[in-house]
Structure 1
Amino acid sequence: MKQRKLVVISSGLSQPSSTRLLADQLTRGAEQAAARLGVTLDVRVIELRDLAHEITDHMLTGFAPTALNQAQEAVAAADALITVTPVFSASYSGLFKSFFDVLDKDALVDKPVLLAATAGTARHSLVLEHALRPLFAYLRASILPTAVFAASDDWGADSAEGPLRGRIDRAAAELAREVDRREPAAVVDPFALTTDFEDMIKNL
């Protein structure tokens, strides 16, 4: 089977949180859909709550502490991302935005990204199109057609078979197809020599 790397970014502030719950359901859906295509996903979940102080330190100093640096490297090496944010003031959370602010500017170029958000009411569902999709378009990611929004009402007794389940399954299938059809992500070493050493000597 093919092996691919999936990074899941959850920016819920409470533990447990509906944001993490949605992230976990999307992850399971992606793993199942990928398995049907002969792809095994190596999943890493990044809880931004645990990196909040390091993200702030990086924004102030320009240097990424160890855990944040490892998260940045995981995103750069990922074959696809699932990103889930709670809605604050009709947009993504500040912690969510700050994490993407400290990534390398080319980290998400052409990388498949599944967008998702949670909120207390369905009235915030347009945040997916008005805030999240423009952000990732600016970062030049390959945004999946189906984005997933979950309001408090979606977590009722019938959630396993309701409309939310259908959206999760559809988005997960799109992610699995994108991962299956692409080659593994290649991470460029910024310190690697791009010119033959002998050629460099000749030009001295």
Structure 2
Amino acid sequence: MTTRTLAVVSAGLSTPSSTRLLADRLADAAVAALAERGAEVRTETIELREHARDLADHLVTGFPNAGLRPVLDTVAGAAGLIAVTPIFSASYSGLFKTFVDVLDRDALYGTPVLLGATAGTARHQLALDHAMRPLFAYLHAAVTPTAVFAASEDWGAGGASHELGERIIRAGGELAGLVAARPASSTADPFADVPDFTTLLSR
């Protein structure tokens, strides 16, 4: 059985952060739902704050450096993506948008994506629908019907409220369904059968 990878992208700016907490909860729910379907999966968590300078370098040079290239490859090659951002000024954070801006145009084409967002109050939850969904629709990703928003009051005594917990489980199940239905990508080298230049010259 092929082990699939779930890429988990967190744009939280602090350590610890509620954004990372939500990302971890969503990942746990998706992994559990995939396990129920008999699918083997591993998660790769990416903290964007650790790559802020790498992302800025990419913007001005047009090329990913050695620190950022593996991150972009992980996201592009993942069977599914969980993307969580804090909400600033009624939209995703600048760090999150910068990361999306440097992705290859077709990196998420058809990829199942679960969206999450955090903010201080529930007044910002509409940002999921008016900002994040259009962004990933533009990238031709397959976004789950359920997105998850968590305000500060949703984290009672370090745990998720009952309503938030149920939404996390539902969203994780939806992502698992999309990932399980998608054919596993081949890891074979597409250029393995291409002869090298010396061989071509000798013919």
TM-score (norm 1): 0.90
Aligned mates of 1:112, 1:181 — CA distance in 2 = 10
Per the alignment, residue 140 of structure 1 pairs with 140
- The 1:160/1:99 distance shift into structure 2, 3 A limit, reads closer
> Helix, strand or coil: the match of 1:118?
strand
Per the alignment, residue 34 of structure 2 pairs with 34
> Helix, strand or coil: the match of 1:39?
coil
Aligned mates of 1:179, 1:58 — CA distance in 2 = 30
2:11–2:85 CA contact under 8 A, matched in 1: yes
Q: What is the identity, as a one-letter code, of the residue corresponding to 2:129? A: E
Aligned mates of 1:165, 1:150 — CA distance in 2 = 10
User: Is 1:43 aligned with 2:43?
Assistant: yes
- The 1:187/1:128 distance shift into structure 2, 3 A limit, reads farther
Residue by residue over 1:7-38, the C-alpha shift from the partner in whole angstroms, topping out at 9 and shown as x without a partner, is 00000000000000000101111111111110
Q: How does 1:45-60 map to 2 (within 5 A)?
A: 45-60=45-60
2:79–2:184 CA contact under 8 A, matched in 1: yes
Per the alignment, residue 98 of structure 1 pairs with 98
Aligned mates of 2:164, 2:89 — CA distance in 1 = 23
Q: Which runs of 5+ in 1 are unaligned?
A: none
- The 1:194/1:24 distance shift into structure 2, 3 A limit, reads same
> Helix, strand or coil: the match of 2:63?
coil
Per the alignment, residue 17 of structure 2 pairs with 17
Per the alignment, residue 149 of structure 2 pairs with 149
Shift of 1:179: 1.2
Residue by residue over 1:178-197, the C-alpha shift from the partner in whole angstroms, topping out at 9 and shown as x without a partner, is 111111135797x8499999
Aligned mates of 2:135, 2:114 — CA distance in 1 = 13
Aligned mates of 2:36, 2:164 — CA distance in 1 = 21
Q: Which runs of 5+ in 2 are unaligned?
A: none
After TM superposition, what 4+ stretches of structure 1 lie above 2 angstroms from structure 2?
Answer: 157-161, 185-189, 191-197
Q: How does 1:102-113 map to 2 (within 5 A)?
A: 102-113=102-113
Q: What is the identity, as a one-letter code, of the residue corresponding to 2:122? A: A
RMSD: 2.2
Aligned mates of 2:19, 2:185 — CA distance in 1 = 27
> Helix, strand or coil: the match of 2:123?
helix
- The 1:166/1:136 distance shift into structure 2, 3 A limit, reads same
Aligned mates of 1:78, 1:30 — CA distance in 2 = 14
Q: What is the identity, as a one-letter code, of the residue corresponding to 1:14? A: S
> Helix, strand or coil: the match of 1:66?
coil
Aligned mates of 2:158, 2:12 — CA distance in 1 = 23
Aligned mates of 1:84, 1:170 — CA distance in 2 = 16
Aligned mates of 2:56, 2:24 — CA distance in 1 = 26
Per the alignment, residue 179 of structure 1 pairs with 179
User: Percent of aligned positions with the same letter in both sequences?
Assistant: 54
TM-score (norm 2): 0.90
Q: How does 1:71-82 map to 2 (within 5 A)?
A: 71-82=71-82
